[in-house]
């Protein structure tokens, strides 16, 4: 009965694998030249940046909802911006309507723009949004622990909040 051979048998041994230059060999498997992945510090930096982006988006949405509420209900809407408590509050004269926006840990209201004469920016700022009138031209500057800053500014002509990145001087 004829047999077929799939491969040729060799009488000489195959050459041993050579370790890469600068890599120590442990047993049969060579060691990895470096570890790949993300360090904890890199991960924390990303979380801080995402926190600032999320907070500025939430703030823009909160301001937009105050402007829309004033136009929709044809009633004034009051905004309280409290840098000391790190929160914003929106309310109307409708019973039970009171909304708050607490900023995430590490994100701080640094200033309310334009700077008003008088007490420092750490006091509560009150803004009234009137229906059918121009939007208040305010801006709220946020900062994260790494010193990155964003300003959420309401455009008085369009009434649309926009987020701006503040460049370091």
Q: What is the CATH number of the domain that holds 146?
A: 3.55.40.10
Render pLDDT for 10-49 as a digit per residue (tens, 0 to 9): 556 656 555 555 555 555 555 555 667 778 888 777 776 7
Tell me how many domains the chain contains.
Answer: 1
Q: Say what the pTM is.
A: 0.70
Phi, psi angles (nearest 5°) of residue 5: -105, 130
151 domain-assigned: yes
- Which domain range does residue 83 map to? 40-166
The neighbouring-strand residues paired with 116 are none
Residue among 153, 159, 112 nearest 134 (CA): 159
Mean pLDDT over each residue of the chain, to the nearest integer: 82
pLDDT tier at 51, thresholds 50, 70, 90 = confident
* Residue 55 within a domain: yes
d(CA 34, CA 36): 6
Q: Is residue 26 part of a domain?
A: no
83 within a domain of the structure (yes/no): yes
In a domain, 6, yes or no: no
Residue 93 lies in a domain: yes
In the chain, DSSP assigns E strands to 25-26, 29-30, 77-82, 87-91, 98-102, 108-113, 125-129, 139-143, 149-154, 161-166
pLDDT of residue 151: 96
Instruction: Give helix then strand counts, H and E, for the chain.
Output: 1, 10
């Amino acid at each position: 009965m004829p047999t077929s051979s799939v491969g040729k048998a060799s009488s000489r041994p195959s050459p041993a694998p050579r370790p890469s230059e600068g890599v120590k060999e442990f047993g049969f498997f060579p060691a990895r030249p470096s570890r790949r992945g993300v360090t904890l510090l890199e991960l924390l930096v990303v979380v801080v940046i995402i926190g600032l982006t999320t907070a500025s988006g939430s703030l823009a949405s909160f301001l937009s909802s105050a402007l829309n509420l004033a136009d929709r209900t044809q009633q004034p809407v009051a905004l309280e911006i409290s840098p000391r408590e790190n929160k914003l509050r929106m309310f109307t004269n409708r019973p039970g309507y009171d909304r708050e926006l607490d900023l995430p840990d590490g994100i701080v209201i640094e200033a309310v723009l334009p700077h008003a004469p008088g007490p420092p920016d750490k006091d509560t700022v009150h803004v009234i949004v009137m229906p059918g009138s121009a939007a208040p031209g305010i801006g709220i500057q946020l900062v994260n622990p790494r010193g990155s800053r964003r300003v959420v500014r309401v455009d008085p002509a369009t009434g649309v909040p926009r987020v701006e990145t503040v460049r370091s001087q």
